[in-house]
């Protein structure tokens, strides 16, 4: 008897597609062994540049941090690389689309956690290299107040774990990451280091607070390199005071600190967190983890007990939570049929003619 197409490794039942990228697709799935919902990333194993083996390795390196998803499983079945991890909530980018901009209280509670998440990655001798709102998500269930950093496909080791020898400074590097949030140094072609992750965090907070950045929309119709150049010039010529106009002085101080950092310098994580903690206290806020969206989320949770609000699945709810299988199987089958066809076409095109 053939096994169902929507069950992988006799353990993970695909429920619905929740995202996709250049590497493949992401599904919400049910872990039949642990009786929980999880996120399942899948890519064709024969792709020219597989990402999941590397990302799976990094999740093991980063294990133990509350601000990074737990890796549940990694394996290869037939032509598929599969990575299963904690299922998280909405990204900060998705939440911002709903709220247009966040309150100062919300951003300050996020900021201290985001610094801690990036600090943990740095302590493990890696830099993220793609700090942006899409790559920060909220936890689920008991972890719904926790900010979680994801997507380590572009992460890179910046120093040797044994000798602690830092990578050498170099220039004329191609941009890695997202131009909107990249540091000025990286846009100028410098080898990225810890300072650049920290500068990118600052741009993310300005975006969350105001809903915009001075260079957004530039070069929309231009070629990629021309667009990057326009963003670089605007970012380089926009003063910190202009960037942080209308915001507390602590944001200006943050940018002054991180932009003055040397290439190999270790960020002063505690001092930077304290900068925003003092601002939080001065504003008279209560550190209750009530974000702008918390009441809305709680009201929705009270009306309906869904997988989004309950990561563990009671046995009697399995049937109720099932999404029709056919669309999922069709998505799954179509993706791999198309991917295999592309791979075969590439192979034929690179085979020398006799």
Q: What is the pTM of this model?
A: 0.84
Q: What is the pLDDT of residues 24-82, one digit of tens each?
A: 899 999 999 999 999 999 999 888 888 899 999 999 999 999 999 999 999 998 889 99
Domain boundary among 240, 264, 283: 283
Binding-site annotation, residues for ATP = 41
Q: Which residues, in sequence order, are CB contacts of 69 under 8 Å at separation 6+?
A: 39, 59, 85, 86, 88, 148, 150
Beta bridge partners of 147: 138
Question: What pLDDT, in 10s, does the model give residues 201-211?
Answer: 999 999 999 99
Q: What is the CATH number of the domain that holds 192?
A: 1.10.510.10
User: In this structure, is residue 351 part of a structural domain?
Assistant: no
Within a domain: 342: no
Asked whether residue 170 falls in the same domain as residue 230, the answer is: yes
Binding residues: 41
Of residues 130, 151, 196, 197, which has the active-site annotation?
130
Is residue 130 annotated as part of the catalytic site, yes or no?
yes
Kindly give, in sequence order, each residue whose CB lies less than 8 Å from that of residue 148, ignoring residues fewer than 6 positions away.
Answer: 67, 68, 69, 86, 88, 117, 136, 137, 138, 139
Average pLDDT over residues 319-343: 46
Instruction: Write out the residue range of the structural domain in which residue 202 sits.
Output: 90-283
Q: Is the pLDDT of residue 311 over 50?
A: no
Higher pLDDT: 353 or 136? It is 136
Q: What gap in Å lies between CA 352 and CA 354, rounded to an integer?
A: 6
**237 phi, psi to nearest 5 deg:** -95, -5
- Please state at what angle helix 104-123 crosses helix 194-210, rounded to 10 degrees: 160
Q: Per DSSP, what are the bridge partners of residue 75?
A: 82
**Helix (H), strand (E), coil (C) string for 93-131:** HHHHHHHCCCCHHHHHHHHHHHHHHHHHHHHCCEECCCC
């Amino acid at each position: 008897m053939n096994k169902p197409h929507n069950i992988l490794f006799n353990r993970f039942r695909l429920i619905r597609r929740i995202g996709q990228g250049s590497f493949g697709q992401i599904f919400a799935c049910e872990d039949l062994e642990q009786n929980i919902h999880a996120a399942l990333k899948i890519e064709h194993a024969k792709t020219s540049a597989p990402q999941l083996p590397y990302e799976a390795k990094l999740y093991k390196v980063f294990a133990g941090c509350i601000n990074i998803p737990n890796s549940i499983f990694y394996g290869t079945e037939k032509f598929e690389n599969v990575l299963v991890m904690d299922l998280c909530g909405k990204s900060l980018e998705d939440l911002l689309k709903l709220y247009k901009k966040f309150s100062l209280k919300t951003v300050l509670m996020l900021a201290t956690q985001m610094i801690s998440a990036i600090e943990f990655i740095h302590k493990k001798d890696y830099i993220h290299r793609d700090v942006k709102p899409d790559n920060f998500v909220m936890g689920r269930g008991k972890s719904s107040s926790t900010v979680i950093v994801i997507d380590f496909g572009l992460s890179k080791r910046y120093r040797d774990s044994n000798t602690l020898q830092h990578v050498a400074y170099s220039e004329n590097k191609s941009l890695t990451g997202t131009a909107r949030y990249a540091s000025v140094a990286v846009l100028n072609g410098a080898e990225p280091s810890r300072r650049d992750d920290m500068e990118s965090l600052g741009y993310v907070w300005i975006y969350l607070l105001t809903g915009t950045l001075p260079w957004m929309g530039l070069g929309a119709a231009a070629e990629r390199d021309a667009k990057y150049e326009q963003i670089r010039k605007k970012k380089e010529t926009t003063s910190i005071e202009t960037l942080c106009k209308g915001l507390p002085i602590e944001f200006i101080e943050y940018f002054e600190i991180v932009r003055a950092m040397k290439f190999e310098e270790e960020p002063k994580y505690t001092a930077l967190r304290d900068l925003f903690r003092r601002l939080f206290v001065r504003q008279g806020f209560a550190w209750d983890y009530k974000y702008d969206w918390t009441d809305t989320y709680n009201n929705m949770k009270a009306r309906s007990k869904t997988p989004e609000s309950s990561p563990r699945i009671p046995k009697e709810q399995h049937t109720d939570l099932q999404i029709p299988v056919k669309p999922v199987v069709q998505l799954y089958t179509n993706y791999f049929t198309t991917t295999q066809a592309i791979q075969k076409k590439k192979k034929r095109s690179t085979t020398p003619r006799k």
